[in-house]
Amino acid sequence: MISDRWRFALPYILAATAMGVIVTASAVRAEQQTITDQYDREIVFDAPVERLATIPIPAAAMSVAVAGNSDALVAMHGLSKTAIVNGILGEFFPETRDIPSDIVGDGFMPNVEELLSADPQLVLQWGTRGDDIIAPIVNAGLPVVTLRYGTEEDAAQWLGMMGQILGRQDRSDAILAWRSDALEAMRAATADISDEERPRTLYFLRYLSSLRVAGTGTYNGFTIDLAGGANVAAELNRFNDVSPEQILAWDPEVILLNGFEDDLSPEDVYSNPVFADISAVRNRRVYQLPLGGYRWDPPNQESPLTWAWVASLLHPERFDTDIRAEIQDRYQLLYGQVPSDDQIDGILRIARNGGSAHYDRFAR
């Protein structure tokens, strides 16, 4: 059986032979770069990659941040596209609105025909969901880098690999340095918060379609803990649908809403009579996560901003971070552009979240 390494090198060898050029295997390797992905698969590719397809949803926006442009991005997941179209990235890089997003179907199953039409040199795919969603891409002759989801360490590895893939390790190193410093600072700032002082906090991955919450082993749970909260759903493993009765029993003091359900807003929770007596509703501490270069819920290139935003809402008396100034500063690093006040209002969802407690701290 031909290994991944030789399957991807073979077309170059055959092409050179057809032209009457003698090329040794070592010469082919010398012109290419090898990367070991998060599932210990060794992939050989031409570096830097000039045509990249991304299936994991946060990866499209992350690749733009690492590259500093969208030149290499040729295809993406549909939910990556909606974040771009509805968010700031589509304004910063208008060409991203026209990038194809029909390369994947249900369950991250690749649409091989559309993927081949995009003609990528390399494809990013989840490695967490089994070989069924990887094999069709490999069988089509396309190199695949597989990613793992769940931890901050995983996300940092995505950024490092993208720097290598896109030939922009200088940029990925700078983003990682900011991320590492922010993580260390946040851990130090919340280390002395006692269990009793940590607000009971609940994150809804889905609210309108079902009551799906984030338990232990989720990035949302990690963010809540990091920012000085107590995840009331920590007794559950990963994401689970729960009953209204369970939410009433938990009585969260703060509720964080996902950025995936486009029509969702805190008002959907405030106006639900079933939840009228929940502490978060009575005290108006329900917030929808921002949408910047990507949705702030999952790990992405803007995660340190998410940590600061959550901490400011969980402990308004302790954290007085100027989020607006931080967005302006860090967006220069990530995108080379400074958002306007109107754009920052949109990122922070001022119109939706403005009626919730303590949100006036994010106003102009």
In this predicted structure, the answer to whether residue 17 has a pLDDT above a threshold of 80 is: no
Q: What is the CB neighbour count within 10 angstroms for residue 159? A: 22
Supply the pLDDT for residue 31.
Answer: 65
Supply the pLDDT for residue 113.
Answer: 96
Helix/strand/coil for 203: strand
Do 214 and 348 lie in one domain? The reply is: yes
Do 202 and 351 lie in one domain? The reply is: yes
The Cα–Cα gap between 221 and 218 comes to 5
pLDDT digits (tens, 9 = 90+) for 269-292: 999 999 999 999 999 999 999 999
Residue pair 242/213 in contact by the 8 Å Cβ criterion: yes
Beta bridge partners of 19: none
Q: Mean per-residue pLDDT for 220-228?
A: 98
Which of 139, 172, 205 represents a domain boundary (last residue)? 172
What is the DSSP secondary structure assignment for residue 229, as one 8-state letter? -
Supply the pLDDT for residue 10.
Answer: 40
Do 352 and 261 lie in one domain? The reply is: yes
Does 48 sit behind a cis peptide bond, omega within 30 degrees of 0 on the bond before it? yes
Average pLDDT, the chain: 91
Percentage of the chain exceeding pLDDT 90 = 87
In this predicted structure, the answer to whether residue 15 has a pLDDT above a threshold of 50 is: no
This prediction's pTM: 0.88
Which of 172, 205, 225 represents a domain boundary (last residue)? 172
Do 130 and 243 lie in one domain? The reply is: no
Supply the pLDDT for residue 46.
Answer: 86
pLDDT digits (tens, 9 = 90+) for 68-116: 999 999 999 999 999 999 999 999 999 999 999 999 998 899 999 999 9
Beta bridge partners of 241: 212
Distance of alpha carbon 153 from the chain centroid = 13
Q: pLDDT-based confidence at 21, cuts 50/70/90? A: very low
Residue 127 is part of a domain; what is its CATH number? 3.40.50.1980
Residue pair 165/48 in contact by the 8 Å Cβ criterion: yes
93-to-70, 88, 295, 317 alpha-carbon distances in Å: 7, 9, 16, 37
Annotate 220-270 with DSSP letters as a single string.
HHHHHHHTT-EETTTTSBSEEE--HHHHHHH--SEEEE-SSSTT--HHHHH
255-to-6, 220, 223, 284, 351 alpha-carbon distances in Å: 51, 12, 13, 9, 17
Do 95 and 205 lie in one domain? The reply is: no
Torsion angle of the four alpha carbons 341, 343, 347, 353, in this order, in degrees rounded to the nearest 10: 60
Q: Mean per-residue pLDDT for 191-205?
A: 97
Q: pLDDT-based confidence at 128, cuts 50/70/90? A: confident
Annotate 271-311 with DSSP letters as a single string.
T-GGGTTSHHHHTT-EEEPPBSSSBSSSS-TTHHHHHHHHH
Residue pair 285/312 in contact by the 8 Å Cβ criterion: no
Alpha carbon distance, N-terminus to C-terminus of the chain: 62
Q: What angle do CA 66, 45, 79 make, to 5 degrees?
A: 45
Q: Mean per-residue pLDDT for 32-54?
A: 92
**Within-domain flag for 181:** no
In this predicted structure, the answer to whether residue 22 has a pLDDT above a threshold of 80 is: no
| Nearest alpha carbon to residue 82 among 294, 298, 256, 255 | 294
Do 125 and 211 lie in one domain? The reply is: no
In this predicted structure, the answer to whether residue 29 has a pLDDT above a threshold of 50 is: no
Total domain count for the chain?
A: 2
Q: Domain residues for 154?
A: 32-172
What is the DSSP secondary structure assignment for residue 238, as one 8-state letter? S
